[in-house]
Amino acid sequence: MNKPPQPISLHGGHSGLYCCHARDLLEDIIQRYIKLGFTKVGITEHVPPVNDKFLYPDEKKLNLTALDLDKRFEEYFYEIFALKKKYASKIKIFAGMETETCTGFTDHIKNLVLKFQPDYIVGSVHHINDICFDYSKKEYDRVCSILGSYELMYEKYFDLQYEMIQSLKPFVVGHFDLIRIYDKNFKKRLLLPKIKQRIMRNLALVKSLNLILDFNLRPLAKGEKEPYVTGFILKSAKEMGIRVVPGDDSHGVKEAGCHVDKAIKILKDLGFDTKWPDPVLIT
Ligand SMILES: [Zn+2]
Ligand SMILES: [Zn+2]
């Protein structure tokens, strides 16, 4: 008989000491994964900003500087590598990091990779024109008004994503269609020719570099129907032979492992390979 697929998440495990918008201790999150029967998990803390200009509002409120966050990130790697050893007999932890794509970040991230030697990286786009569009609907609409329309905003997002994938070659491409986050009409919008063409172009790049897509479960945690990516992108990935792996994008103990069972069922039903690859650093 075939073994049932192992639960896994290759994007998440943000924790309270290292991320202002997360909660709980990293070790408690790891213990939660073990309790849930995970034998492998990827932890991917957000990278620190390249300078003070890119601090998030919650970080500014706490009077943190980019230098403080650099130090905090170093402590994160110190702890994740220690936990990796401590729990090695129970769970295989992959020590990762989640990228940004603002001005100056490509070199910054390459330096961080050299310095910390993570097991892999998750490549994400959260900024357009250096503004974080997923922080709130207000910021999302601010980007839209600067660019002129939601359509142009989507196009720009997928262009930035293409550049990021090309330059960083992240083993996991994070929440591929995050740009739909506050858009009620995203299903129609993603199919507009200029946008769909960019999606297919980016998928082809993902395939050619043998990267995987994050099947990101955060929307389900927020009560939405579909993970990132949406149905048609998921089906296209399947047709192109692109691997897809669940990511809970957890920011606390309660979210760790949430909805991973649902994700695995969706992937299995669509015929995806559920023998998950071990993430690696691609240089
Ligand atoms: Zn986060
Ligand atoms: Zn993210």
Ligand 1 centroid from CA 19, angstroms: 7
| CB contact set of 216 (below 8 Å; sequence gap of 6+) | 11, 174, 175, 178, 227, 228, 229, 247, 249
Residue 22 near residue 55, CB atoms below 8 Å: no
Q: Lowest-confidence range among 31-35, 71-75, 102-106, 201-205?
A: 102-106
pLDDT confidence band for 280 (50 / 70 / 90): very high
Ligand 2 centroid from CA 178, angstroms: 8
Ligand 2 centroid from CA 126, angstroms: 7
State how far the Cα of 47 lies from the Cα of 218, in Å rounded to an integer.
19
If you ran DSSP here, which 8-state letter would residue 41 be given? E
Task: Kindly report, residue by residue over 82-100, the tens digit of the pLDDT.
Answer: 999 999 999 999 999 999 9
pLDDT confidence band for 3 (50 / 70 / 90): confident
- Using a pLDDT cut of 70, give the percent of the chain over it: 99
State how far the Cα of 194 lies from the Cα of 152, in Å rounded to an integer.
9
Length of the chain: 283
Beta strands in the chain, from DSSP E residues, in sequence order: 40-46, 92-98, 120-123, 127-128, 131-132, 172-173, 212-216, 243-247
Task: Kindly report, residue by residue over 232-248, the tens digit of the pLDDT.
Answer: 999 999 999 999 999 99
Residue 66 near residue 50, CB atoms below 8 Å: yes
Task: Please tell me the predicted confidence (pLDDT) of residue 4.
Answer: 86
Task: Please tell me the predicted confidence (pLDDT) of residue 133.
Answer: 96
- Using a pLDDT cut of 90, give the percent of the chain over it: 96
Using DSSP bridges, classify how beta strands 92-98 and 243-247 pair: parallel, antiparallel or unpaired.
unpaired
Q: Delineate the domains of the chain, giving CATH numbers in brackets.
A: 26-269 (3.20.20.140)
**Of the candidates 29, 61, 83, 94, which has an alpha carbon nearest to the alpha carbon of residue 278?**
94
**Of the candidates 10, 45, 43, which has an alpha carbon nearest to the alpha carbon of residue 216?**
10
**Token representation of residue 282:** 């691609």
Ligand 2 centroid from CA 135, angstroms: 10
State how far the Cα of 174 lies from the Cα of 202, in Å rounded to an integer.
13
| Inter-axis angle of helices 150-168 and 193-208, nearest 10 | 10
For 228, list phi and psi in degrees, rounded to 5.
Answer: -85, 120
Cβ atoms < 10 Å from Cβ of 191: 11
Task: Kindly report, residue by residue over 24-65, the tens digit of the pLDDT.
Answer: 999 999 999 999 999 999 999 999 999 999 998 899 999 999
Average pLDDT in the chain: 96
Ligand 2 centroid from CA 47, angstroms: 11
